[in-house]
Structure 1
Amino acid sequence: MEGSDRYARKSISLKLDTISRLPDWFFNTVMNRAERLWWEGCRRLIDIFVEFEHGRLQGLTHLSIIGTDSHELMDTRTWVPKRPVFKKLEELHMIGVDCQESCVDELPPGSLFNLKVLKVRYCYKWGNVLLPSTLLQRLPNLEELCCRFMDEIEYVFGYEALSEPKQSKLRSVELCGLYRVRSIWDGPAPLAMFQTLQILNIRQCNLPGSLFTSDIAQCLSQLTYINLQNCPFLERIVEAGNKKIILPKLKRLSLAELPMLYSESATIDIECPSLEDLDVLDCPKFSASIYDFKPEREVQLNRVSSQKPHCPIWRRAPIELSSDSFSTRFESDVRSGSSIDLSLVRGGDCGGYV
């Protein structure tokens, strides 16, 4: 089986609150052969780990989990797998999943070892750190991280000296709607995490002060694209200092709705010799010119003002997720390819959300 035909035959789409009651014959003939699973209605992340511990879903490489907005009281058991889980999994997508007692950061070594893509949105009871150091150490092959609208998150990465990653394959980070975020790192940032980063996309986040320390900025040798949008407290891209910062491969820099950016100083202390595009929208304090970045080629400058009143993100109304609209609202956002009737158990495309 090749191409799309191969995936169609090895993909499962489910819409139910639990899969534990499915008959054994279905698991043996269908579920255990699946490589891609789309599960809508899963209430807690721990449930999927339990199924794996019972010898099911061993062949999954792509997993998409859509939770429910039901807040009814459930068993809050604490459970940690005894052996590594989802060693073959390459992509994990989660929306609206209850992560309480899932003990993600306590998974046995080898769990999620091959995970390349992690995308989470509207998940709750996750904790204040998106990737604690113990979990980050278990994801040596992670290439793409996307986190949207997680109200509890204060730090994206955690830090413990004994768990500091020695190398990283992380190339893309997208953060959106993290209203309580204080910093990218909780504590000193291991420089190895940023040496492969190519794309950084941060929108609607209340990050204060500077985005990067000068030490981290010196490690961004592979960074090609930075997009910063609607971060009302962000003052600088790199903290002020005496070190010369060069982003040798940065080609595009997009800045939008950043009212405090360089409000204390108009000096740009970043050199971008490969810069090709500079987009500036509603950044009233940003007065730098193209030449401040010392480009070695012609740069396309797009500097515009929307002429609309600034709306701070912390005053925007929270997003309501009703039981009637939850599935409909996210189905088109999460799925790719042709539409599938999620009320049926059948093959389909289990692509994740963008």
Structure 2
Amino acid sequence: MESQAKVPLHILSEQDSWRLFRKKAGNAVDSPDFHDVAWRVVKECGGLPIALVVVARALGDKDLEEWKEAARQLEMSNPTKDDHDHTVFRCIKFSYDYLKHEDAKRCFLNCCLFPEDTNINIEDLVKYGIGQGLFQNANTVEEARAAASSLLKHLKACSLLLNSDQEGCVKMHDVVRDTAISIASAGDELAFLVHSGAALKKWPRRDSYEAYTAISLMSNEIQDLPDGLVCPKLQTLLLQNNIDIQEIPDGFFERMESLRVLDVNGADISSLPSSLGLLLNLRTLCLDGCKSTDISILGELRKLEILSLRESCIEELPEEIGKLVSLRMLDFTMSSDLKRIRSNLLLSLSQLEEIYLQGSFGDWGKPIEGMDQETNAGFDELTRLPYLNTLKVDITDAGCIPQTVVSNPNWVKFNICMSEDLFVRLMDVHLSKIMAARSRALILNTTINTLPDWFNSVVTEKTEKLFYIHGSGLHNIISEYDQGRLNGLKSLLVQSCYGIVQLMNTDIHVLNRPVFDNLEELRVHNMDYLKVICVGELPPGSLRKLKFFQVEQCDELVGTLLQPNLLKRLENLEVLDVSGNSLEDIFRSEGLGKEQILLRKLREMKLDKLPQLKNIWNGPAELAIFNKLKILTVIACKKLRNLFAITVSRCLLQLEELWIEDCGGLEVIIGEDKGEASSNMSHKSRVKEIVEKQKEEAMEKIILPQLKNLSLQNLPLLTGFYSGFASIQCPSLEQLHTQDCPLFRATTDEFHSRKQVQVNNEQHFLLLRKRYG
């Protein structure tokens, strides 16, 4: 165990201890039956917050007899008066002992194998757990994930683990980790050697390694491994992220006959040692980043269930891989040199449940270069693997997909990228990391009508995320919706499809039912010839769930982005992000009735690099309902003279952040309502009307009650917030940033904030710049 300097622990008073304990254990401790025994337990926690929390969470749902037994156990192990370390240890150990399931205990102890204060990848815990023989009631790897997720959720509820700010990870408190290492180092059945993240340069010396069941030396600076170790009980060996390891001695694994989990990810290994083939009990093997081009020795590992070789350098999947008859997961993601998989090789992996080949092999069924009459594995082989339920694979073109298959596979989760462009395929790897885990995604460079019926039935119709990238023959996504029966589609990206001039056209393809009625996200990127988003009337109910709409780099997109025919369908739109096109208006509402409720859920809008933009809203001001808008960002809109008319501004009741930058033509933020006096009026009458209007405005107020942050950057013509006589009131304003606005003279007093307004706070400005810049 790593030696660490002792940090003084914060001690709570008895009353504060009780309040914290009661909060975590629940109101049951207030009942007469529980109150006294609960106080006994609280006193044994010694005022230490972490001890109070873990014990309270462990006992929260237990009955009275278990509470009494817990108090008795804690009192029996009463430490010396000031031994806070021991108090923490026995309380966490108590919570650990109260875990009902052995799998939960093993998952908890596995977390201490990772470095201090690190994000622990849940997928690693799943792979290690399967290798160690946990999750025996799970029939599939996916069920094992679900079991692990449930256990980790319980451990977090017990405060033995913490939430992470990184998706798909958990964390372990340093004090809890120290306790876990102590538990795992002193057990009868388990003995851990843990020096992860300790900056070790050499392998740690011990008189003997025979008792250890797990060794974790991950994330160090070790260069050389010993020639051989006698480790008859060792089941888990974690050496990942030791980037200076370039060689594994040939006899290194000879005396590790019980090893079940081996992780050497990130080591710069150019060849695999012969002793690796002796690990006949190995279940999980992780060799990501391995530089060896010969992995044929892995064929000896007949019990292997998990094999990960992400970012490897192999060019061909060797025939010996076909001997891995127990393999359930195969991962060669980002192995871009992999060009050959011989025909029928994958069929030997009859137990395979999950296969990952993103950013690597994609030439299904095509002739192998330099091999007479030989072809690569056909895509139909994947359809004939009886247990395969998850696949993330590439296909270079639609010709790789067979027209018929023996039977339709039951692929539950998939990510299939059809593209000859390696950059697109590698981009898909990145996208899959940020998309919802284990979703159903399809990337196409063609239209749906070119795909076989079985593929559309198995994949296209079940797709939740559909991306068209460099799609040839694509002219109208309404036709695609109808052809592919995309009723369940939630996310759609259309990018670099140069045949599209009108994204949606219901005049050409008429439908009498809603289209994209479950779509939640729509992205339109780099469409060089796109001129309009929608032509014709969309059936009622279309796009009714759309929450996010993004349009980027569509240079020929002109006129209005959201015309009335489309605007009235976006009743649930929450985020609008528009950049890099030639639009003059964002919204146009002419022709819509006053009873129409528009944009009632829009909470964030970003407008960037729109050099021709003249109006955000064009049409009757009373239809502009922006009462949920919280964040508005306007950047590089050179022709924009104001953001909204005063009538529209009265709807901005929830606006919290306003960022305006590089708008060279902007004169005021809020403009006057458009409208002219009757041409038949005399000059005297016009003057009188103007005077009366000024008097009315002088009595008016423009109130933005929630505005907290106002940032104005590089606005050379900006003279003020409003061109008329109404006063501006921003009672919640906290931050005002102005830079390169020479004509803007407004002071903080003019905003009538109830708070102390900070002007040009650099630290806060940099935070906003990072968000909006």
Q: Same-fold call, TM > 0.5?
A: yes
Contact 1:80 1:106 (8 Å CA) reproduced: no
* Amino acid paired to 2:743: K
1:122 aligns with 2:580: no
Residues in 1 aligned to 2:757 and 2:533: alpha-carbon distance in whole angstroms: 48
- Aligned twin of 2:315: none
Flag the 1:297–1:43 CA change in 2: closer, same or farther, 3 A.
farther
Residues in 1 aligned to 2:663 and 2:761: alpha-carbon distance in whole angstroms: 18
Residues in 2 aligned to 1:71 and 1:86: alpha-carbon distance in whole angstroms: 18
Question: Which shifted more, 41-50 or 59-68?
Answer: 41-50
1:178 aligns with 2:619: no
Name which of 524, 541, 558 aligns with 1:94.
Answer: 524
1:252 aligns with 2:709: yes
| 3-state SS of paired residue (1:26) | helix
Flag the 1:198–1:71 CA change in 2: closer, same or farther, 3 A.
closer
- Aligned twin of 1:298: 756
Which of these two proteins has the greater Rg computed from alpha carbons? 2
Flag the 1:215–1:272 CA change in 2: closer, same or farther, 3 A.
same
Flag the 1:191–1:270 CA change in 2: closer, same or farther, 3 A.
farther
- Aligned twin of 2:454: 25
Flag the 1:105–1:237 CA change in 2: closer, same or farther, 3 A.
farther
Contact 1:266 1:286 (8 Å CA) reproduced: no
| Structure-to-structure mapping, 1:1-354, within 5 angstroms | 7-42=436-471, 46-68=475-497, 79-82=508-511, 83-97=513-527, 98-99=529-530, 103-123=534-554, 126-151=557-582, 153-163=583-593, 165-167=596-598, 168-239=600-671, 242=697, 243-262=700-719, 269-302=727-760
Flag the 1:139–1:209 CA change in 2: closer, same or farther, 3 A.
same
Q: Tell me by how many angstroms 1:125 deviates.
A: 5.1
| 3-state SS of paired residue (1:190) | helix
Q: Tell me by how many angstroms 1:42 deviates.
A: 3.0
* Amino acid paired to 1:86: F
| Residue deviations 1:198-225 (CA, integer Å, cap 9, x gap) | 1111000024433221111111111101
Residues in 2 aligned to 1:133 and 1:63: alpha-carbon distance in whole angstroms: 22
Question: Which shifted more, 171-180 or 263-272?
Answer: 263-272
Q: Tell me by how many angstroms 1:162 deviates.
A: 3.1
Contact 1:105 1:132 (8 Å CA) reproduced: no
Q: Tell me by how many angstroms 1:56 deviates.
A: 2.5
Residues in 2 aligned to 1:184 and 1:47: alpha-carbon distance in whole angstroms: 27
TM-score by length of 2: 0.36
Q: Tell me by how many angstroms 1:196 deviates.
A: 1.4
- Aligned twin of 1:347: none
| Residue deviations 1:175-233 (CA, integer Å, cap 9, x gap) | 11111111112222234521111111100002443322111111111110101011011
Flag the 1:183–1:77 CA change in 2: closer, same or farther, 3 A.
closer
- Structure showing greater relative contact order (alpha-carbon pairs closer than 8 Å, 6 or more residues apart): 1
Residues in 2 aligned to 1:19 and 1:43: alpha-carbon distance in whole angstroms: 11
Contact 1:79 1:102 (8 Å CA) reproduced: no
Residues in 2 aligned to 1:123 and 1:156: alpha-carbon distance in whole angstroms: 14
| Residue deviations 1:102-129 (CA, integer Å, cap 9, x gap) | 6445222221111111101123554411
Flag the 1:70–1:271 CA change in 2: closer, same or farther, 3 A.
same
Residues in 2 aligned to 1:131 and 1:63: alpha-carbon distance in whole angstroms: 18
| 3-state SS of paired residue (1:275) | coil
Task: Decide which structure has greater helix share.
Answer: 2
Flag the 1:286–1:181 CA change in 2: closer, same or farther, 3 A.
same
Question: Which shifted more, 265-274 or 275-284?
Answer: 265-274
Flag the 1:209–1:118 CA change in 2: closer, same or farther, 3 A.
same
Q: Tell me by how many angstroms 1:13 deviates.
A: 3.9
Q: Tell me by how many angstroms 1:11 deviates.
A: 2.8
Contact 1:169 1:196 (8 Å CA) reproduced: yes
Unaligned 5+ segments in structure 1 are 305-353
| 3-state SS of paired residue (1:146) | strand
Unaligned 5+ segments in structure 2 are 1-141, 147-166, 169-389, 391-412, 414-435, 673-693, 763-772
Residues in 1 aligned to 2:477 and 2:471: alpha-carbon distance in whole angstroms: 8
- Aligned twin of 1:342: none
Flag the 1:81–1:99 CA change in 2: closer, same or farther, 3 A.
farther
Contact 2:446 2:474 (8 Å CA) reproduced: no
| 3-state SS of paired residue (1:231) | coil
Q: How many residues align?
A: 301
Flag the 1:245–1:103 CA change in 2: closer, same or farther, 3 A.
closer
Flag the 1:120–1:43 CA change in 2: closer, same or farther, 3 A.
farther
Flag the 1:121–1:250 CA change in 2: closer, same or farther, 3 A.
same
Contact 2:621 2:647 (8 Å CA) reproduced: no
* Amino acid paired to 1:224: E
Residues in 2 aligned to 1:139 and 1:71: alpha-carbon distance in whole angstroms: 22
Q: Tell me by how many angstroms 1:265 deviates.
A: 7.5
* Amino acid paired to 1:22: L
Residues in 2 aligned to 1:109 and 1:94: alpha-carbon distance in whole angstroms: 22
% identity of equivalent residues: 38
* Amino acid paired to 1:286: F
| 3-state SS of paired residue (2:760) | strand
| Residue deviations 1:75-126 (CA, integer Å, cap 9, x gap) | x996233132110001101102344586445222221111111101123554
Question: Which shifted more, 104-113 or 126-135?
Answer: 104-113
Contact 2:447 2:473 (8 Å CA) reproduced: no
Contact 2:491 2:522 (8 Å CA) reproduced: yes
TM-score by length of 1: 0.76
Cα RMSD between the aligned structures? 3.2
Flag the 1:77–1:160 CA change in 2: closer, same or farther, 3 A.
closer
| 3-state SS of paired residue (2:633) | strand
Q: Tell me by how many angstroms 1:69 deviates.
A: 5.6
